[in-house]
Copies of this chain bind each other. A is one copy, B any other.
Amino acid sequence: MAYRNLAKTALRTLGPTAPSKRQLSSQASQLEAKRSDSLPSMSSFHPLTDVTSNKYLYSYESEVKESFDQIVPVLKRVSELQHEQNFVDHAQQLTMAELGFALPTHVLEKAWVRPLDMRGLFSWSVFQAYKKSSDNFFACDPLKGGEQSIEARDFESLLQDCGFHLLDVTPCADGRLAHSIAYVLRIPFSAVRRRSHAGALFDVEQTVNRWVKTEHHRYRQGGGNNAHSPTSYLKIVTYHFSSVDPSHQGCAAHGSDDSVAASAGLQRLYDFREAIENSFCCGASVDLLLIGIDTDTDAIRVHVPGADSSMSLDSWVSALEIYEETQFMEKEEALKKISQRVQECAPSKPETGMVAFITHLVANNISQIDYVRQFHAGLYSDAGHAERFIGVGIGFKEVHLRNLTYFSHLDTVEEGAPDLDVGVKIFKGLNVSRDLPIPVVIRFDYSGRVPGAKERAIADCRRVDAAIAMRYRELVADGLLHTFLTIRDRDQKAPAEAIGSSLDPSLQEAH
């Protein structure tokens, strides 16, 4: 996460809802120059690039982000109307037409007596935009990664062929990694367990519990595959760095030092494996993989493990180099070259399945490299943070867009406060500095098959909401932090359900 130097880079990272052209600093002009160097002609896609997927992925990305980014211009027009006759009706017509939802009448109706609560309306609109995109995600599977999709089934079978029965990925909580699964690695979201953490430093004990659940599922009901198949649980950590501005836009949790980020990730992976090996008998172990992501180009580098799971921090296979090396080859030839490069990078002879799996990931990532070249001029213009909201709690299976959400996966604010504080700090730079509030979506998924679980998820939302209101009481008192409470039955395909908000009329009156 890069929250440092927010002030310095404010011009480049205009924030989540900046609607118009970005004003470029001199630093940004250099970036622009770099970008055009690396820009390919539109016809020069890599032979392995999936042009069709890139199209629908871009259409989804631009559509969802547009729904957030048009909020400020529309609200500016609403603000201009506030002293007109029939203001409430006009405002509602305008937002319905432009944003597709109505604004809260109890807020609009106060316009005659005091200035319109634009912070409240902004938060409300962000929550509605989130809700619409979340509903659409569960209804239409726009990323074609749902459980029933051909893509998910194909991937599951590839995973097993490579020797793995579960894929568990920890990216950084940073919003610039939120698209790691569906875009950067092109993995169907339903075929992977994702749990983001600041600095990608996942919780060892929780991951051991997840491993136990996975193994139990295989023993009891052949989940993943039969427990006696010689496959492994594969744990991946993805750290990140910035090729354009390495010392400022890397991972803040590791001081923007990519070697520190990589080595901390690797240590956590080794700790996890040691925990499994020490705690369980009969040769229990897991497979590990460390991947670096360049947040400017989305190109990955993979620290290929030897068969003994040892990895080197200093050697990796670079998707960008492979892209260049193979861009004029035939598909088959390119894939062979990738596989060869992967094998060369391992500190000792790697497992065949692992080589095949990494080859697949690198090939997938080539599509993403072309995606960034085609649709983002080779380098993202938002090199820094530009998240639209903070997502707090357990869930958010539907969030897969870069810089849409800063994740704070937590059960309690008491435990998750360090991650959440970082998110709030980022949003002070992005929003509060512009007099806009921090929109926080709270989410607790539950299992509808467990009696009382829904009621407990609701209680969890309210508990975390109260803890946030306590921890950030000054922001809340100033209307600079709003919350939206949602739950979701993870056993169903239904969308998330909204159960409350700091903008509810009763709460607003109590202020």
Interface residues of A (CB under 8 A from B): 204-205, 208-209, 212-213, 215-216, 219-221, 227, 270-271, 274-275, 278-282, 284, 411-415, 447, 449-453, 456, 463, 467
Residues of B within 8 A of A449 (CB): 275, 278-279
Contact for A219 among B216, B274, B453, B456, CB less than 8 A: B216
Q: Is the CB of B215 within 8 A of A451?
A: no
Q: In the bound complex, how far is the Cα of B216 from the Cα of A282, in angstroms?
A: 13
Looking at the assembled complex, report how far the CB atom of A488 sits from the nearest CB atom of chain B, in whole angstroms: 16
Contact for A204 among B213, B275, B452, CB less than 8 A: B452
Q: In the bound complex, how far is the Cα of B6 from the Cα of A182, in angstroms?
A: 59
Least CB separation from A413: chain B residue? B414
Instruction: Decide yes or no: A220 and B467 within 8 Å by CB, A204-B450, A204-B451, A275-B450 being known contacts.
Output: no
Residues of B within 8 A of A456 (CB): 204-205
A204-B456, A216-B216, A271-B451 known; 6 new pairs, CB 8 Å cut-off, are A208-B450, A209-B209, A216-B219, A219-B220, A220-B284, A414-B414
Least CB separation from A203: chain B residue? B456
18 interchain pairs, CB-CB under 8 A: A204-B451, A205-B450, A215-B220, A216-B219, A219-B220, A220-B282, A221-B280, A270-B451, A271-B451, A271-B452, A274-B450, A275-B447, A275-B449, A275-B450, A279-B447, A279-B450, A411-B411, A415-B463
Q: In the bound complex, how far is the Cα of B452 from the Cα of A296, in angstroms?
A: 33
Q: Is the CB of B221 within 8 A of A281?
A: yes
Residues of B within 8 A of A212 (CB): 212-213, 216
Least CB separation from A271: chain B residue? B451
Q: Is the CB of A450 within 8 A of B284?
A: no
Looking at the assembled complex, report how far the CB atom of A483 sits from the nearest CB atom of chain B, in whole angstroms: 16
Least CB separation from A208: chain B residue? B450
Residues of B within 8 A of A274 (CB): 450-451
Residue among A216, A281, A411 with max Cβ neighbours from chain B (10 Å): A216
Least CB separation from A275: chain B residue? B450
Q: Is the CB of B220 within 8 A of A453?
A: no
Looking at the assembled complex, report how far the CB atom of A286 sits from the nearest CB atom of chain B, in whole angstroms: 13
Residues of B within 8 A of A275 (CB): 447, 449-451, 453
Q: Is the CB of A450 within 8 A of B414?
A: no
Residue among A213, A279, A281, A452 with max Cβ neighbours from chain B (10 Å): A452
Q: In the bound complex, how far is the Cα of B203 from the Cα of A453, in angstroms?
A: 10
Residues of B within 8 A of A280 (CB): 220-221
Q: Is the CB of B221 within 8 A of A219?
A: no
Q: Is the CB of B279 within 8 A of A204?
A: no
Q: Is the CB of A414 within 8 A of B278?
A: no
